[in-house]
């Protein structure tokens, strides 16, 4: 039996959505202030319009739709799904007004890529994009990496009902602290601490490289947003290759790794048990999968005349596995990799990072438990008929694998694989090579951002829409989107 929504359900949904939109309009103030500080006249009006549209829409929704019901789980999933769509559409407004996007669809693609921390881009002439618009591109990644809804949960602390569904709906399955508001604030506190440290090191490094101080601060901030939140946007067309610096690539590898690991793991290492990082199941799964894939890259590139293992192979692989999408290669250079190396990168993108992190993809926990359950079944078959066998793993404590957990993992595993394949098939039907189509589809769904050149302003509008949908459902991990669709379909059964 499904729940049939009534008038008050929609009042609750649109009231909370209005609050979230007001929060989004407040975040637009930062690039607006950058436009004022650097006297960027046209961007000043772009962000004035975007702030006004968002604020008016948010206030209107709050006033027209008073909160009449407690927030239920169904409400929260609907709010999360719709909230991400609305945020990306509103976030596209200042980008489209910049004149650096061929059409609004391209600006929407960029905004969804930013909020979903994907990094695929359709911007034209990025090297001459204004500082304020670049600030907004990267700020969307910081907001999206923490979670658009998570960024606003503290604003909802006085709302009636539970906001746990808002947290879970964004693809987070683990609470760090018993209270969701405290969990949200801890994640933000951790991010601010890493931001302060990361930006400081990056500024010092960029100043050493000869960059002017104000430009160094902006570039450091943008690089941090895109690396820690595993986004992949960069302020220059050449991405990380623009800096021609091994040292900066090492710094970004560290930041990508920090962003790819579970926020719960950060909490344990900081406050409970520093040895957890050596015992944690997700960390062990990452190390095994990464080094197996690195072997594939090594044997593919070790005698390649144009690729060094670290600067070209290792960096692309770690960027893919952490879901960041930074690259020090041009698309044609990435295309020039041998197929085995490209397959290794595709597998890395499919997997992604830890649960409750800023990454997308299948996630390390699910991958590890898929293989652990496989070997568990083999052991069961080798034991006496009436023997009962349960395997365990260590993730913030010792845990027993149960059948329900395995069932859920295989469902999500299958959903991701099917979505990867559907996007790849659509790319092939539109005339693109099979491997490149799969690569791009995985990159969009797993919110990575690496590209073999398919993603461009000239690609078919249908493929742009497909990738927008893949970025959206991949970031929210299907559940919230399915609940929203079920909520809508139930209206037609009345």
Q: Is the pLDDT of residue 310 over 80?
A: no
The whole-model pTM stands at 0.91
**Exposed / middle / buried, residue 31 (Cβ in 10 Å: 0-12, 13-18, 19+):** buried
Please report the pLDDT score of residue 38 as a whole number: 95
Q: Name the residue among 286, 273, 269, 265 with its Cα closest to residue 356.
A: 265
In this structure, is residue 37 part of a structural domain? yes
More confident residue, 336 or 389: 336
* Sign of torsion over alpha carbons 480, 481, 483, 484: positive
In this structure, is residue 59 part of a structural domain? yes
DSSP state of 72: P
Expressed as residue numbers, the domain containing 92 is: 7-173
In this structure, is residue 167 part of a structural domain? yes
Q: Is the pLDDT of residue 132 over 60?
A: yes
In this structure, is residue 491 part of a structural domain? no
In this structure, is residue 292 part of a structural domain? no
Average pLDDT of the segment spanning 423-446:
96
Task: Quote the number of domains for the chain.
Answer: 1
Please report the pLDDT score of residue 160 as a whole number: 47
Q: Name, in order, each residue with C-beta under 8 angstroms of 216's C-beta and a sequence gap of 6 or more.
A: 202, 203, 206, 207
More confident residue, 171 or 477: 477
Please report the pLDDT score of residue 262 as a whole number: 85
Q: Is the pLDDT of residue 399 over 90?
A: no
For the stretch 407-418, pLDDT in tens is 888 898 999 999
Average pLDDT of the segment spanning 185-196:
82
In this structure, is residue 134 part of a structural domain? yes
Average pLDDT of the segment spanning 429-444:
96
Q: Name, in order, each residue with C-beta under 8 angstroms of 406's C-beta and a sequence gap of 6 or more.
A: 369, 373
In this structure, is residue 127 part of a structural domain? yes
Q: How far apart are CA 87 and CA 18, in angstroms?
A: 11
Q: How far apart are CA 196 and CA 297, in angstroms?
A: 34
Average pLDDT of the segment spanning 340-351:
94
In this structure, is residue 281 part of a structural domain? no
Q: Name the residue among 265, 255, 196 with its Cα closest to residue 223.
A: 255
Average pLDDT of the segment spanning 86-93:
96
Average pLDDT of the segment spanning 59-63:
94
Helix (H), strand (E) counts: the chain: 21, 2
Q: What is the average pLDDT value for the chain, to the nearest integer? A: 86
Average pLDDT of the segment spanning 250-257:
94
More confident residue, 272 or 152: 272
Please report the pLDDT score of residue 176 as a whole number: 57
Please report the pLDDT score of residue 60 as a whole number: 96
Average pLDDT of the segment spanning 30-39:
96
Q: How far apart are CA 31 and CA 100, in angstroms?
A: 16
Q: Is the pLDDT of residue 152 over 70?
A: no
pLDDT over 70 percentage in the chain:
87
Please report the pLDDT score of residue 358 as a whole number: 80
Please report the pLDDT score of residue 92 as a whole number: 97
pLDDT band, residue 55 (cuts 50/70/90): very high
Please report the pLDDT score of residue 170 as a whole number: 54
Q: Is the pLDDT of residue 348 over 90?
A: yes
Q: To the nearest 10°, the Cα dihedral for 426, 427, 431, 434? A: -110
More confident residue, 229 or 109: 109
Does an H or E element contain 200, and which? helix 180-208
For the stretch 232-246, pLDDT in tens is 899 999 999 999 888
Please report the pLDDT score of residue 451 as a whole number: 93
Please report the pLDDT score of residue 98 as a whole number: 96
Please report the pLDDT score of residue 1 as a whole number: 42
pLDDT band, residue 174 (cuts 50/70/90): low
Average pLDDT of the segment spanning 74-94:
89
**Phi, psi dihedrals of residue 484, rounded to the nearest 5°:** -60, -45
């Amino acid at each position: 039996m499904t729940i049939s929504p009534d008038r008050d359900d929609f009042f609750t949904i649109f009231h909370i959505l209005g609050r979230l939109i007001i929060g989004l309009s407040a975040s637009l103030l930062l690039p607006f202030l950058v436009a004022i500080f650097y006297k960027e006249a046209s961007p000043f009006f772009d962000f004035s319009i975007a702030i006004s549209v968002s604020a008016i829409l948010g206030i209107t929704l709050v006033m027209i739709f008073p909160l009449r019901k407690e927030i239920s789980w169904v409400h929260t999933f609907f709010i999360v799904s719709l909230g991400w769509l609305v945020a990306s559409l509103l976030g596209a407004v200042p980008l489209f007004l910049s004149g650096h996007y061929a059409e609004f669809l391209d600006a929407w693609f960029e905004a969804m890529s930013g909020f979903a921390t994907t990094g695929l881009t359709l911007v034209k002439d990025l090297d001459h994009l204004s500082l304020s618009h670049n600030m907004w591109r990267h700020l969307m990644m910081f907001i999206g990496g923490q979670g658009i809804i998570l960024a606003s949960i503290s604003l909802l602390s006085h709302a009636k009902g539970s906001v746990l569904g808002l947290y879970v709906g964004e693809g987070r399955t683990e609470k760090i602290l018993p209270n969701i508001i405290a969990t949200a604030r801890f994640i933000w506190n951790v991010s601010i601490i890493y931001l302060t440290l990361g930006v400081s090191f990056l500024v010092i490094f960029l100043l050493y490289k000869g960059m002017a101080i104000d430009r160094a601060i902006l570039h450091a901030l943008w690089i941090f947003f895109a690396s820690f939140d595993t986004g992949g946007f960069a302020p220059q067309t050449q991405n990380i290759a623009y800096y021609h610096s091994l040292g900066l690539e090492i710094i970004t590898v560290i930041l990508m790794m920090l962003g790819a690991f579970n926020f719960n793991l950060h909490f344990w290492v900081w406050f409970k048990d520093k040895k957890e990082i050596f015992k944690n199941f997700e960390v062990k799964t990452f190390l095994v999968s990464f080094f197996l894939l690195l072997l594939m890259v090594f044997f593919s590139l070790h005698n390649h005349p144009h690729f060094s293992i670290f600067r070209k192979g290792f960096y692309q692989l770690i960027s893919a596995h952490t879901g960041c999408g930074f690259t020090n290669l041009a698309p044609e250079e990435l295309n020039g990799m041998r197929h085995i190396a490209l397959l290794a990168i595709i597998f890395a993108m499919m997997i992604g990072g830890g649960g409750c992190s800023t990454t997308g993809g299948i996630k390390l926990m699910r991958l590890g438990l898929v293989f652990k359950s496989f070997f568990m079944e083999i052991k069961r078959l080798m034991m006496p008929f009436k023997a009962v066998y349960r395997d365990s793993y260590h993730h913030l404590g010792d845990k027993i694998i149960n059948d329900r957990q395995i069932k859920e993992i295989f469902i999500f595993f299958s959903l991701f694989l099917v979505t990867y394949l559907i996007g790849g098939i659509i790319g092939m039907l539109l005339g693109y090579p099979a491997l490149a189509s799969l690569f791009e589809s995985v990159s969009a769904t797993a919110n990575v951002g690496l590209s073999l050149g398919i993603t461009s302003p000239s690609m078919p509008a249908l493929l742009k829409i497909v990738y927008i949908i893949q970025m959206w459902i991949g970031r929210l991990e299907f559940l919230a989107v399915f609940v929203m669709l079920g909520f809508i379909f139930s209206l037609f059964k009345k």
